Amino acid sequence: MIGRVNHIAIAVPDLTAAAASYRDTLGAAVSEPQALPEHGVMVVFVELPNTKVELLEPLGEASPIAAFLEKNPSGGMHHICYEVDDILVARDRLAASGARVLGNGEPKIGAHGKPVLFLHPKDFFGTLIELEQA
């Protein structure tokens, strides 16, 4: 059911410093910071030959990554995003197998303009999973 890794998201306390580290120390191509207010994050996209890394910094009061950074003040891997062909088919299959879909179970439009869902990390070995319809 799941296909390519679309991106790996890393929550960071200082986006400027994290982008500089990926650019200067790891030698990666990084984007300019972009504000995604509807998702409560500032993001820098790190373009790699086979996938993307997204560096996320909280934006605004109700950022979904604020609590994660309180628990992991120096940052940490926040989620991995897998592509699926049909997000509603994927959701129904997961629900039928007992996996918990976060929120109200309806896909939202994600950072790339495509429908996404998140799955409970306790059902997948401590990793928050995002599914994105490719």
What residues make contact with Co ion under the rule CB under 5 A? 9, 81, 130
Least distance from C-beta 130 to Co ion, angstroms?
Answer: 5
Q: Choosing from 54, 57, 83, 130, which is the catalytic residue?
A: 130
Least distance from C-beta 23 to Co ion, angstroms?
Answer: 20
Least distance from C-beta 81 to Co ion, angstroms?
Answer: 5
Instruction: Give me the amino acid identity at 36.
Output: L
> In degrees rounded to 5, what are phi and psi of residue 99?
-75, 145
**Cβ closest to Co ion, residue 24 vs residue 108:** 108
Q: Where are the beta strands (DSSP E) in the chain?
A: 5-11, 29-30, 34-36, 41-47, 52-58, 76-84, 108-109, 115-119, 128-133
Identify whether 106 is a catalytic site residue: no
* Active centre residues (catalytic): 130
